[in-house]
């Protein structure tokens, strides 16, 4: 699977995606498969589809409507291929999960059928006349997408996560979060650049003995689905300002990768101790406040 830069992605998909939340950033972790792409930084999976204008249509309006329907069907086929190629863990992809479980396969296919057309012109709404591209051969191109949170709710295993905390009994004023104390670690950034690491829905951080420093045991399944296990970036300065970890994140250098899919980053045992010590009380790992830097 080929990793894309912003420029090459534009060439593949035909234009940059600039509408709300759909745009690719220079530092996003993007992987491409044929006419689709998975953005592990934003969580969006998108694909293009093309439909031809029928010369048998009774009028231009009918020709365009028929072409749009055909383009949407083509985009959904391409989108399903992209979704199936999503890396879930160091050993699993969505396709592998779907092959093993018919319920997962049916659920994933249903989510793709409910995919959204993208707001290509950035006006905040989807319009079948303005959010399509007219190609030089008179055919029509559309882009459609789904968010990984819906996919993760289906493919993440049902067990192996941290238990949900007991229901809160404090009053509203007592439950209000306090501002972090000076020096408090607000998140973790693992610099895995140069290691050949690949993005995934559910990566792990391991020590040199293979022990999990960060993984499903740190957070609930519900939290992982809602917020994502980790964020990705290619730039340290931008990662430090990411809302996931902003404030005073701890920056640790990775020393290796593990897993068939090369998604789990290994850190030195001494750094693993630093992380566990800083996270006393589950201050950031349980809230998935983790960023991973990649090439």
Gyration radius from the chain CA atoms: 21
pTM to 2 decimal places: 0.81
- Which residue in 43, 38, 42 sits closest to 12, CA to CA? 38
Q: Residue 184 has what pLDDT?
A: 86
Please indicate whether residue 3 or residue 288 has the higher confidence score (pLDDT): 288
Q: What is the pLDDT of residues 6-56, one digit of tens each?
A: 333 333 333 333 333 345 678 899 999 888 999 999 999 999 999 988 777
Grouping H, G, I as helix, E, B as strand and the rest as coil, residue 54 is: coil
Read off the pLDDT of each residue in 53-72 and give the average, rounded to a whole number: 81
Count other C-beta atoms under 10 Å from residue 126's C-beta.
Answer: 15
**pLDDT of 168 above 80:** no
Angle between helices 102-113 and 148-155 (to 10 degrees): 170
Residues contacting residue 101 through CB under 8 Å, at least 6 positions apart: none
Q: Can you list the positions of beta strands (E) in the chain?
A: 2-3, 30-33, 36-39, 44-51, 116-117, 133-134, 140-147, 187-191, 205-206, 212-214, 231-233, 249-258, 264-267, 290-293
CA 27 to chain centre: 13
What pairing do the DSSP bridges indicate for beta strands 30-33 and 231-233? unpaired
**pLDDT of 3 above 50:** no
Q: What is the pLDDT of residues 201-240, one digit of tens each?
A: 999 999 999 999 999 999 999 999 999 999 999 999 999 9
Partnered with residue 37 across adjacent β-strands are 32, 46
Q: What is the pLDDT of residues 67-124, one digit of tens each?
A: 888 999 999 999 999 999 999 999 999 999 999 999 999 999 999 999 888 777 677 7
Q: Residue 187 has what pLDDT?
A: 96
For residue 109, give both structure tokens.
Answer: 């296919």
């Amino acid at each position: 699977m080929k990793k894309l830069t912003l420029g090459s992605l534009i060439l593949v998909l035909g234009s940059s995606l600039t509408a709300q939340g759909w745009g690719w950033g220079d530092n996003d972790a993007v992987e491409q498969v044929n006419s689709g792409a998975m953005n592990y930084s934003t969580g969006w999976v998108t694909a293009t589809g093309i439909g031809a204008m029928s010369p048998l249509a009774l009028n231009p309006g009918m020709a365009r409507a028929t072409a749009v329907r055909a383009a949407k069907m083509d985009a959904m086929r391409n989108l399903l291929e992209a979704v199936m190629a999503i890396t879930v863990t160091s050993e699993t992809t969505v396709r592998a999960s779907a092959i093993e479980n018919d319920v997962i396969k049916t659920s994933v296919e249903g989510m793709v059928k409910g995919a959204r057309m993208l707001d290509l012109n950035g006006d905040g709404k989807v319009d079948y006349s303005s959010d399509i591209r007219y190609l030089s051969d008179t055919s029509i191109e559309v882009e459609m997408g789904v968010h990984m949170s819906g996919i993760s709710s289906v493919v993440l295993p049902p067990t192996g996560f941290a238990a949900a905390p007991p229901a809160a009994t404090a009053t509203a004023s007592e439950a209000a979060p306090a501002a972090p104390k000076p020096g408090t670690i607000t998140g973790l950034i693992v610099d895995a650049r140069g290691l050949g690491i690949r993005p995934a829905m559910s990566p792990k951080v391991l020590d040199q003995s293979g022990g999990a420093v960060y993984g499903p045991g740190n957070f609930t399944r519900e939290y992982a689905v809602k917020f994502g296990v980790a964020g990705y970036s290619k730039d340290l300065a931008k990662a430090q300002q990411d809302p996931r970890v902003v404030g005073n994140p701890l920056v640790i250098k990775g020393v290796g990768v593990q897993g068939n899919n090369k998604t789990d980053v290994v850190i030195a045992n001494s750094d693993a101790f630093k992380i566990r010590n800083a996270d006393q009380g589950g201050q950031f790992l349980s809230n998935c406040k983790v960023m991973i830097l990649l090439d």
